[in-house]
Amino acid sequence: MSVKVDPGTGGPIAQSGYLIERFRVVFESGGGWHCACHEFVAANACRHTREAAGMRDAQAQIAQAIATGKSTLR
C-alpha cells in the first residue's frame, strides 16, 4: 500500500495495487476500485476487483490480528 498526497483534495489517499490475471487492479480510498478490463469498463465492477477486494480484506484482518495479538494461528 502506498500513500500519496494530491494537492487540493484535503488529505492523503491510501492506494493498494494488485495484479490479477495480468490486469493491474487499484483501490484508492475515496475513489474506489479501478480496472482496465472490459467487464469493469461496462459495469464498474469485475471479477478482478472482487478478487482484489477479498485479498485486501484478508490483509486487513491479518494486520488487525497481529496488532491486537489475537491471532488464532498456532
CB 67 within 8 A of CB 73: no
Q: Where are the domains of the chain?
A: 2-68
Distance CA 51, CA 66 (A): 23
What is the C-alpha separation between 23 and 38, in angstroms, rounded?
Answer: 11
- What pTM does this model have? 0.66
Helix ranges restricted to H, the chain: 38-43, 47-68
Please tell me whether residue 3 adopts helix, strand or coil conformation: strand
37, 29 Cβ separation under 8 angstroms: no
Whole-number pLDDT of residue 12? 62
pLDDT in tens, 8-61: 555 666 788 899 888 899 888 877 899 999 999 999 999 999 999 999 999 989
Residue 5 has pLDDT above 50, yes or no: no
